[in-house]
Structure 1
Amino acid sequence: MLAAEMSSEAQPLGTRGPRFNRRSPFYIGLTAAAGVAVTYGAVQVLTALSSILVLVGVAFFLALGLEPAASWFVKHRLPRWAATALVFLIVLALMGAFVAAAIPPLVQQAGDLVNQAPHYIQQVQDHSSAIGRLNDRFHLQQRITDTVNGSSGSVVNEVVSAGTALFGAVADSLIVIVLTVYFLADMPRIRTSLYRLIPHTRRPRAILIGDEVFAKVGAYVLGNVLISVIAGAATFVWLEVFDVPYPLLLGIFVALLDLVPVVGSTIAGIAVAAVALTVSLPICIATIAFFVVFRLLEDYLLVPRIIGRAVNVPPLITVVAVLLGGALLGIVGALVAIPIAAAIQLLTQEVLYPRLDEV
């Protein structure tokens, strides 16, 4: 009866009631509960998709690193698809040449390592050698034996796990390569779509800042790869001159670890020094000194000249960013931490500080 009285010809469904009082405890509680539910759902979705999102992020990161090369070809009147194809052909050609040149020596050096294993075991048992004295002090042989005996019952499981991990790594690499191709081919459209999310009145400045962020990331990727190649080549020459075994294998190892900022080159230097100890203690000390000097040259000469102008991040922020990135996403987080920190620093200087100065 009451519903029929509220209906009229002008408003057959009745008049709207009064709005909710936004200051009422019920409205505040309902809004807070909805916010908590949405946040919880978003966290669950991001957690479930974290592995895929990491692959997407790595692919986009690599595409930004290749973007300067593709843009250069586009400026020289190549279509975007042709520039993308040419960039990837160059990358694949370089990788193929590297593999063709590196695989035979790597196989030979790996075989030499297996053949020399009894000699190294004899050195460990020789109490007059440097390795033997380290073994006597830290009981390295006993610890290795205990570890092997403790895991002997799960050898099959370890082999299966290693095979599964290898298959997963290959699949992830293929996914990253395919996504990188698509990102690089559609980079202008992606940037335009991102800029259209900004209000029209603020879009010109957002485009300038966004282009600068993309340029910083691209410069960092290319510069970091170049510095890592220099580190690997310098290590190879040093080890070759002083007849340290497995110079090519260790040079590639140093180049890969040097991609990780701050801690990568340090870990690589410790590993190479341990191998140099098998030659003699003076060679080991000289190798440590070499890595210390090269690290200083890298920090104060190579990095400032190659990527320092584009990615000007203070050392303290660099260390903190790498630690946080590594804690959140492992090696991938450590790799992308510095360009992300540079982007945040640029946004802070160009957007946040001016607004705070106006208050």
Structure 2
Amino acid sequence: MTASSTHLDEGADDARHAVGPPDTATTDGPEQPDGAAHGDPAPGTDGAAQDADRADPTTPAPGQDKPTPGTAGSTHPPRWLPRALALGIVAVFVGIFAWNALGALKSLWVAILIAFFLSLALEPATVWLVRRGWKRPAAAAVTLLGSLAAIVGVMALFGNLFVQQLVELGGTLPEYYGTLRSFILGFVDLPLPAPDDLVGEGLDQFGSDLAASALVVGSALLSGLFWSITILLVAFYLLAAGPRFRRAVCRWVPTGHQDEVLHLWEVVQRKVSDYIDTRLVLALISTVVTCVFLLILRTPYAIPLAVFVGVVSQFVPTIGAYLGGALPIMVALTGQGLWQAGAVLLFVVAYQQVENLWLAPMLSERALEMNAAVSLLVVLAFGAVFGALGAFLALPIAATIQAMATTYLQRHELIESHMFNDPEDKWVAAG
């Protein structure tokens, strides 16, 4: 092949590339209508295919199942939703009813709690009688009635003295007021009423409120008597049942956990007994110290007054200290004078501070195995939340919780650190 022919072939190839491929619209098949180029349906069709494409995507295609309500492809709510809403509404109403019922039965729960702790406190004495041949119900009755007789005896012994001293104090109040009024008027000119006018106003006010006060006091006495009988009956049933009651409780507990329940029961009973022993020791100390002070002051009825202070201050929650101290103050005021009564008042306040901040926490730490600061804070916290009853039952409840935590919570070994020990004296260490 010559050079000239080669150049001619290359020129022809370039020309074909420039022109490009033949137009398919003019070479393939018949000419299409103008509407086909714009997406219009072809002649002889009704546009069913295009309508199917524009249909709702949730509508199932022919041959497919309808989406189940509640699934991603369904616009209907789940079938379980109405039932769940109904159950939720019922649960809300049941919860509100239960909460209101618990609030309405608060007094009953408190009575049951007191009876339970009372039965635990009297359990050792009941067991002591049972070991000596007594039947369980008889031993429970004797223990409970004996404790009740001791309380009533103390109240009867000192109640008469309390009323007598209160009447005498009421008779001497105008004289004390007149003395105090003259003392104040000697320094400051104040419009203080005369003793006779003050007594007249007091009698008028007392007469106008007598009916209402009598009704309130009578209702309170009847309510207190009713709940006292309820507490005593429940405590007697718990004491008389004894092991039968524990068996009835453990029947609802799996066999593998019954030992834990009985151990917890024993711990609670021991802590309550230790708490009662602690209160008895505090009552004895308070009686001795108060008796010595009243004898030094030569206050009448020093020994019975000291016993009254010791018992009431330890076994009447919250107000026991002030109620126990009120009687010797009134006796000193009516039998000796204002200065002696002031001295008794200062003694009662000072001793209560020593007992509450040092003596009681120290004994609680030894008997209940509880830190002194923790016991003080527990009494304050329970008293603020649950009132007088909470302050009285705070220590046994807290000791029980501490015993449960010691039993069921895991303790770990301590690392070596200087933070766990006080620094040693270098002279002692050198010696």
Regarding TM over 0.5, the answer is yes
Residue type of the alignment partner of 1:311: L
> Is structure 2 residue 351 aligned with structure 1 residue 296?
no
Q: Return the alpha-carbon distance in structure 1 between the equivalents of residues 305 and 340 of structure 2.
A: 22
The yes-or-no answer on 1:108 pairing with 2:164 is: yes
Contact 1:277 1:283 in 2 (8 A): yes
In 2, distance between residues paired with 1:48 and 1:69? 35
Could you say what secondary structure the match of 1:78 adopts? coil
Q: Give the distance between the partners of 1:145 and 1:320, measured in 2 at CA.
A: 47
Partner residue in 1 for 2:212: 157
- Displacement of 1:329: 3.6
Cα deviation 1:143-172 (Å, max 9, x = unaligned)? 999999878744321221111111211222
Residues of 2 paired with 1:187 and 1:127: CA distance?
65
2:275 corresponds to 1:220: yes
| Larger mean Cα displacement after TM superposition, 181-190 or 92-101 | 92-101
Distance 1:283 1:73 in 2: 45
Q: Distance in 2 between matches of 1:308 and 1:222?
A: 13
- CA gap of 1:292–1:343, structure 2 versus 1, over 3 A, is same
Structure 1 spans left out of the alignment, 5+ residues: 1-23
- Are 2:413 and 1:354 aligned? no
- Match in the other structure for 1:45: 101
Q: Distance in 1 between matches of 2:320 and 2:411?
A: 40
RMSD: 4.3
Q: Distance in 1 between matches of 2:352 and 2:293?
A: 11
- The code of the aligned residue for 1:194 comes to V
How far is the alpha carbon of 1:81 from its aligned partner? 1.8
In 1, Cα distance between equivalents of 2:199 and 2:88 = 56
Match of 1:256 in 2: 312
Q: Which amino acid aligns with 2:276?
A: V
Distance of 1:76 and 1:178 partners within structure 2: 24
Change (3 A) 1:42 1:294: closer
Contact 2:313 2:323 in 1 (8 A): yes
1:40 and 1:146 mapped to 2: Cα distance?
50
Larger Rg computed on CA atoms: 2
Which moves more between the two structures, 339-348 or 153-162? 153-162
Match of 1:330 among 387, 412, 416: 387
Structure 2 counterpart SS, 1:77: coil
Q: Summarize the Cα distance change of 1:144–1:115 in structure 2 as closer, same or farther, 3 Å threshold.
A: closer
C-alpha contact (below 8 Å) 2:383/2:390 kept by paired residues: yes
Q: How does 1:189-268 map to 2 (within 5 A)?
A: 189-228=244-283, 230-232=285-287, 234-244=289-299, 248=304, 252=308, 255-259=311-315, 264=319, 267=322
Structure 1's 177 and 286: CA in aligned 2 closer, same or farther, altered over 3 A? closer
Matches within 5 A, 1:1-359: 35-95=91-151, 97-99=153-155, 101-127=157-183, 153-228=208-283, 230-232=285-287, 234-244=289-299, 248=304, 252=308, 255-259=311-315, 264=319, 267=322, 279-281=337-339, 284=342, 288-289=346-347, 291-293=349-351, 295-296=353-354, 300=358, 304-305=362-363, 308-351=365-408, 353-354=409-410
Which structure would you say has the larger RCO, counting Cα contacts within 8 Å and 6 or more residues apart?
Answer: 1
Residue-pair matches, total: 326
Tell me the alpha carbon deviations over residues 45-102 of structure 1, each in whole angstroms, 9 at most, x when there is no partner. 1111111221122111111111111112223332212321331343244345435543
Provide, for residues 218-266 of structure 1, a one-character-per-residue CA deviation record: whole Å limited to 9, x for no partner: 32134325523642564355335414578656863663243366x5576
* Counterpart Cα distance in 2 of 1:260 and 1:93: 16
Contact 1:269 1:288 in 2 (8 A): no
The 3 A distance-change label for structure 1 pair 183 and 205 is closer
SS at 2:134's partner residue? coil
How far apart, CA to CA, are the structure 2 residues paired with 1:211 and 1:34?
41
- Separation of aligned partners in 2, 1:33 and 1:163: 44
Q: Quick one: distance in 2 between partners of 1:109 and 1:151?
A: 20
Conserved? CA contact 1:326–1:334, under 8 Å: yes
TM-score (norm 2): 0.60
Q: In structure 1, what is the Cα distance between the partners aligned to 2:200 and 2:404?
A: 54
Paired with 2:182 and 2:300, the residues of 1 have a C-alpha distance of 20
1:340: Cα distance to partner?
1.2
Alpha-carbon distance in structure 2 between the residues aligned to 1:163 and 1:109: 23
One-letter amino acid matched to 2:124: P
Name structure 2 gaps, 5 residues minimum.
Answer: 1-79, 414-431
What is the alpha-carbon distance in structure 2 between the residues aligned to residue 302 and residue 36 of structure 1?
A: 46
Give the TM-score normalised by structure 1.
0.71
Letter in 1 for 2:382: G
Quick one: distance in 2 between partners of 1:73 and 1:264? 34
Change (3 A) 1:214 1:106: same
Pick closer, same or farther for the CA change 1:240–1:28 going to 2, 3 Å. farther
